Amino acid sequence: MKYDFLIVGAGLFGAVFAYEAKKRGKSVLVIDKRDHIAGNIYTENVDGINVHKYGAHIFHTSNKEVWDYINNFAEFNNYINSPVAIYKDELYNLPFNMNTFSKLWNIKTPKEAKEKIEEQRKASGIDNPKNLEEQAISLVGKDVYEKLIKGYTEKQWGRDAKELPAFIIKRLPLRFTFDNNYFNDRYQGIPIGGYTGIVEKLLDGIEVKTNTEYKDFIKENPDIADKTVYTGMIDEFFDYKLGVLEYRRVYFEDERLDTDNYQGNAVVNYTQREVPFTRIIEHKHFEYGKQDFTIISKEYPTEWQKGEEPYYPINNEKNNALYESYVVLSKTRPEIIFGGRLGAYKYYDMDKVVEAALECVEKNL
């Protein structure tokens, strides 16, 4: 059988495209190299707890159209992301807000907090930041930087903050209210029952093959579709002929514990460099679970090697320039549509993935 579209990748981008194509009467085949659908938003139900297998995913958006769209496929709860940071034996609220400043400096008013930050900025004497450390101190002062940014960022990137370029931190939001809501977006929540269910509904009635590598599959089925939507790595598609795009990788250590509540919050960041993981996720708190046990995941960022699962694109000048070269090369293959996090070499929040997929549909259907 020949299809209108072969979609490579059963993640959110591929699933939205597949759903919209089918709705428009197109024939669609979806393949994925993993043994499951839903890509990095895959959640696995373990005795009633939906475990975010590839790290914490909180849906948030200010785009009502996207919010209404995604709500066609799930009912969302009223979860608000309010992470906590631990530095040594001290505990702080995130994002940086009056609760954070009050704990740091024993102050009560926004005026006092602003004065303290300004005093530390001036004392730093940094006018022209040359690296990430200088950039952060010039934005938020030394105390916030040393306790809540430095170690976490160095673990995330695997580099000393003095070796990282200043542009990584363009701004650091400071909130002078006692508000622990991490996002400023109008809409926020977790799908009741987990994210996998959303993708199952998007792909309902569509043929899906998991455990299927694109290169092997296309060799055996070269004329399977008129067009291909490719959500894998753009450089891998072209056999890395222009060079390898770089990523940071993350791996997770899951643990089931015989306690009903391990850390009291879904997300707790560990900001000391000496602690090897960046954060611990306690999955039951995303959906207000009442189970008498819990499941936690420790998150470890590490160097990415070719052939491993890529997570965060390293969007520095060198990699962005290489990606643009691949975009030029992709014009030689008009039958291939590149999209999603890996196809566009871009870190996307979930709402932006949905937005981009819907735009791609409008452009190509």
Q: How far apart are CA 235 and CA 313, in angstroms?
A: 12
Q: How far apart are CA 26 and CA 287, in angstroms?
A: 36
Pair of tokens at residue 360: 């791609």
Specify the CATH number of the domain 3-81+188-247+306-363: 3.40.50.720
Annotated catalytic residue: which of 248, 254, 262, 312? 248
**Among 95-109, 175-189, 278-292, 301-315, whose mean pLDDT is lowest?**
301-315
Annotated catalytic residue: which of 133, 235, 282, 299? 299
Burial of 329 (0-12, 13-18, 19+ CB in 10 A): middle
Q: How far apart are CA 159 and CA 107, in angstroms?
A: 33
Residue 171 binned pLDDT confidence (cut-offs 50, 70, 90): confident
**Per-residue pLDDT tens digits for 52-104:** 999 999 999 999 999 999 999 999 999 999 999 999 999 999 999 999 999 99
Round to the nearest angstrom and report the end-to-end CA distance of the chain: 21
Mean pLDDT over 335-339 rounds to 98
Check if the beta carbon of residue 87 is closer than 8 Å to that of residue 147: yes
**Per-residue pLDDT tens digits for 173-182:** 899 999 999 9
Length of the chain: 365
Residue 20: what residue type?
Answer: E
Other beta carbons within 10 angstroms of residue 346's beta carbon come to 15
Annotated catalytic residue: which of 171, 239, 274, 335? 171
Mean pLDDT over 150-157 rounds to 97
Question: Is 249 designated active site?
Answer: no
Annotated catalytic residue: which of 145, 175, 341, 351? 175
Pairing assessment for the beta strands 225-230 and 3-8 based on DSSP bridges: parallel
Q: How far apart are CA 278 and CA 156, in angstroms?
A: 7
Check if the beta carbon of residue 14 is closer than 8 Å to that of residue 7: yes
Pairing assessment for the beta strands 28-31 and 3-8 based on DSSP bridges: parallel
Question: Is 127 designated active site?
Answer: no
Check if the beta carbon of residue 319 is closer than 8 Å to that of residue 345: yes
User: SS3 for 51?
Assistant: strand
Every domain of the chain with CATH number 3.40.50.720 lies at 3-81+188-247+306-363
Output the average pLDDT for the chain: 97
Q: How far apart are CA 261 and CA 268, in angstroms?
A: 13
The secondary structure of 99-139 as a DSSP string is HHHHHHH---SHHHHHHHHHHHHHHHT-SS--SHHHHHHHH
Question: Is 54 designated active site?
Answer: no
Residue 315 binned pLDDT confidence (cut-offs 50, 70, 90): confident
